[in-house]
Amino acid sequence: MKREKFKELVKETRCLAFTKMIQLKDIQSKMKNLNYLELKMQNYLMCNDISVNQARLIFRTRCRMTTYWNNFKGHNLTQICPVCKEGDTVDDQRHSFRCKVILDNVSVVGSLEDSYQEDSIYAGVAQTIERIEKFRENYL
């Protein structure tokens, strides 16, 4: 196979794979908040201001794979926030950015929505997510 033909085949396959992945993303509840325009490595994974562990944590947060009841409803987790224990608060990632106990003990920069930005996740949000997760881990 000639080089040009092979390149064309790779480009076509890449386009089809991206289309298929977008279709699958749209039916997955944990991925619905993510918007992709092209198949490429996300900028936050290449950012020098964010450590490898922070990048992994951002990935887990973006895919709702962190340990919150709302992410894993059937896995023996308490439905009420285990930190503030307020009766009407559901334990989810969004609540962790406004939980009174966490806000009293952790410096929170940005919001959960900032972690879903495709090209502007900054170190402050990564550090906030990391501090919240460490606080919850130690608190529980």
Q: What are phi and psi for residue 90, nearest 5 degrees?
A: -85, 135
The total domain count for the chain is 2
Q: What is the pLDDT along the chain (140 residues), one digit of tens a residue?
A: 899 999 999 999 999 999 998 888 888 878 877 778 888 888 888 888 888 999 899 889 988 899 888 888 766 667 888 899 887 888 899 999 999 999 999 999 888 888 887 666 778 888 999 999 999 999 87
Spatial distance between the Cα atoms of 83 and 92, rounded to a whole number of angstroms:
11
Amino acid type, 39: L
Sign of CA dihedral 25, 111, 55, 138: negative
Specify whether 6 is located in the same domain as 64: no
Element (H, E) at 125: helix 123-139
Specify whether 52 is located in the same domain as 33: no
Specify whether 52 is located in the same domain as 116: yes
To the nearest 10°, the Cα dihedral for 111, 116, 119, 124?
30
Please give the pLDDT value at position 106. 92
Specify whether 30 is located in the same domain as 81: no
Specify whether 33 is located in the same domain as 85: no
SS3 (DSSP) at 90 = strand
Specify whether 52 is located in the same domain as 117: yes
Provide the residue range defining the domain that includes 13: 1-40
Specify whether 72 is located in the same domain as 7: no
Please give the pLDDT value at position 75. 67
Specify whether 78 is located in the same domain as 132: yes
pTM: predicted TM-score of the whole model, two decimal places: 0.75
Specify whether 1 is located in the same domain as 68: no
Please give the pLDDT value at position 16. 92
